[in-house]
A = this chain, B = another copy of it.
C-alpha cells in the first residue's frame, strides 16, 4: 500500500507521501482542495482509519477492497462514490479497479494496480496547467475519470489494428489459426465492453443527479465525458460487426476453396474412370475376342477414348464447371 496526498488552490500546490493513514490525514489541506491517492488498497486497518475520518459507509469500504466490482455511481449523504475500471494495453487487456470518493473539498482515489495512470493530472495540478487549479473537487473527479476514459481509446485502437490484420488474413483459407485468434480477440472485446458498458449508465445517472457536490459549471464537462463513453461503446459494437464480417469472409473463402478442390477431383475422375474401364475391357484374356485381332482396333480405341474425354469436357464447359 502506498499513500500520497496533494493539496492545491489557485495560488499554489504541494504533494506529500505518507506511510500511515494518520500521518496522511495530518497533511490535509483545510482551505483548498485535497486529493488523497491510495495505491493497492489491501490494508484494511489503514483504509478503515481513512473511512472513519471522512464518515464513509462500511459498504463503500467493502466495495473498495473487493476488486471484482462493476462500474457504478452511488450517492451517499456526504459523498459520491464512483467505481470505474481502467484498461491497460495487453493481450488480454489488463483491467484495474479505480474507486473514487468525491466530497466537498476532497477527492480520495483507490488504485488497484500501483502505477502512473494519474501522473498527467498530478503534473497539471503542480504545474498549474489548464483550468484545474481554478476549479473545485468535482472538476478533479471529472479530470480523473476523463483520463481513465481516454486510456480506453488506446486499447480500442490496438484492437482495431488487430481487426485490420484479421481482414487481410480472412481471405487466406490455409490460415487455420485465424478462427481461434479471432475468437480470442472477440473475448478481449467482450472483456473491454464489460468495463465500458456499465459506465455509460453510471454517467447518465451522474448527469441526472442533482447533487450539491457537483457544480453547474461542471455539467458541460460531464456531458462531454458521456459523449466519449458513448463513442467508446459504439466503437466496440462496430468492432464486433467487423469481426463477424471477417468470420463470414473467411467461411466463404474456405468454402470456395473446397468447391475448387471438389471440382478438380470430379473432372479428373469422371473423365478417366470410363477410359480406364475401356482399356480394362481390352486387357481381358478371353480367347474369343474378335476386336483384339482387327488391325485398326488399337487406333480406333484411342479415337473413341479421345471422343469420350472431349464430350465430357464439352459437357462440363456447358454447365460452366470449368
Contacts and interface: CB of A to CB of B under 8 A. Distances in A.
A186 interface: yes
Given A234-B70, A242-B187, A259 B263 contact: no
Given A59-B224, A187-B242, A227-B69, A284 B298 contact: yes
A269 interface: yes
Nearest to A230: B70
Interface residues on chain A, size class: 35 or more
Which 8 residue pairs across A and B have the least CB separation, nearest first? A279-B280, A179-B252, A282-B284, A283-B283, A265-B266, A268-B270, A286-B298, A272-B273
A256 interface: yes
B254 A257 contact: no
Interface of A: 57, 59, 62-63, 68-70, 72, 74, 76, 171, 173-174, 176, 179-180, 183, 186-187, 190, 194, 220-221, 223-224, 227, 230-231, 234, 238, 241-242, 245, 247-249, 251-266, 268-270, 272-277, 279-289, 291-298, 301, 319-321
A144 to B, nearest CB: 17
Contacts of A280: 276, 279-280, 283
Nearest to A266: B265
Contacts of A221: 59
A94 B21 CA distance: 47
A180 B276 contact: no
Contact of A277 (B252, B253, B275): B275
Contacts of A301: 284, 286
A194 B259 CA distance: 36
Nearest to A191: B238
A303 to B, nearest CB: 13
A249 B176 CA distance: 11
